[in-house]
Amino acid sequence: MDRIAKKLLQKYTLIDGHNHMMMEIAKRRNKGENAVFLNYYATLFLQTGINVIMTQVGGDNSSLTDNTDLLLWGSISILDMLYEEADESGEVMAICRNSQEIENALRQGKIAVLLTMEGARPIEGKPHDMTLAGLRNFYRLGLRGLQLVDNGRNRLCDGKGEIRTQGGLTNFGISVVKEMNCLGMVIDLAHITEPGFWDVLEISEDPVVDTHSNCWSVCDHPRNLKDEQIKALAKKGGAIGLTCNSAMVSKESDNPTITDVLNHLDYIVKLVGIDHVGLGPDLIEPYNMLTTEGWLEGVFYVVRESHYIENFSGTLDIPVFMELFTEGMIQRGY
């Protein structure tokens, strides 16, 4: 690794804005392994300088909930596994609930882990019930971020896979957004329809983010954000996290490279400034699950040589990604 790049990666707080390590951790714990984070992930993140991880502890589909369609129970199961991991891997990681706990973890040389969900189905409660008890109790258990929807539809809003309707926020969705503001939770707009996006921007009093998308003007995949959306996020004080999904990086190449990801970075910086762009690589080890059209409720990510950019196949490649991305930024004058 370039010495300057390595020095920069070790010097600053570096956040992985959208992480799926719990898929692999759950699989290994179900086979009887313990301290998976300590034995499998810690070195990966520490050698790249990543010291804050926003990881999914549930969501709108069974791949996020220990492969059960009982999404509430599955999310509780994943959450329990992560807390067990925190006990067993406490020398290298800490679950954090606020900025002070993050600072304490970093000061002790630990990786700070923040809990999020990719879709709100686990907090919906009973049909037609407007209760926010699910959201509040997951907050009490440590949840600090929530992506409102995945690709399909839930009780809050439509995801990008609902191509025919493209609905915005429901009454329940509006209540959830307002309660998240009251609780101080991070609202994640990845996967939400454009009408839903604008509903949240109008209703939320706090900054919002999109943790793993790219620029529609660079690659017009339906999951990417248009210029006016990126500008609105920035005006609200929020940010967009760049992702490595090959279909969302480039339509020109079947196997895009880190250069193509950096082109998205350049575009956003020119559009709204460096303060409004981050990283949400969305690296998942069992990502071959997404090869079937419609598997994720209507969104097709294209069957390609790789679901990721060149030389990447999943979480194990995060050190290489960070090395190449940082070196590329230096070469471009950042």
Predicted confidence at residue 294, as pLDDT, reads 47
The pLDDT score that the predictor gives to residue 237 is 98
Domains annotated on the chain, with CATH: 3-331 (3.20.20.140)
Tokens 């692999």 correspond to what residue? 24
CA distance from start to end of the chain: 17
Q: Confirm if 177 and 169 have CB atoms less than 8 A apart.
A: yes
d(CA 250, CA 248): 6
pLDDT in tens, the chain (334 residues): 577 777 888 888 999 999 999 999 999 999 999 999 999 999 888 888 899 999 999 999 888 899 888 999 999 999 999 999 999 999 999 999 999 999 999 999 999 999 999 999 999 988 888 899 999 999 999 999 999 999 899 999 999 988 889 999 999 999 999 999 999 999 999 999 999 999 999 999 999 999 999 999 999 999 999 999 999 999 999 999 999 888 899 988 878 999 999 999 999 999 999 999 999 988 776 555 544 444 566 655 555 555 778 777 777 778 888 888 999 999 999 9
Task: Name the E strands within 104-262.
Answer: 111-118, 145-147, 186-188, 209-210, 239-242
Give the whole-angstrom CA distance, residue 298 versus residue 215: 21
Given the DSSP bridges, would you call strands 14-19 and 50-59 parallel, antiparallel or unpaired? parallel
The CA distances from residue 158 to 56, 168, 274, 302, in Å, are 20, 6, 30, 21
Q: Which residues pair with 296 in a beta bridge?
A: 299
Give the pLDDT score at 306. 59
Please report the beta strands in the chain, taking only residues with DSSP state E, as ranges in sequence order: 14-19, 50-59, 93-95, 111-118, 145-147, 186-188, 209-210, 239-242, 277-279
If phi > 0 it is left, if psi is from -120 to 50 it is alpha, else beta; for residue 127 that is beta
Q: What is the CA radius of gyration of the chain?
A: 19
Instruction: Indicate the residue type of 173.
Output: G
Give me the residue label for tokens 């995801």.
Answer: 159
Q: Which amino acid, one-letter code, is at 220?
A: D
The label of the residue with tokens 């714990």 reads: 29
3-state helix, strand, coil in the chain (%, to 5): 45, 15, 40
Listed residue (95, 91, 111) closest to 57, CA to CA: 95
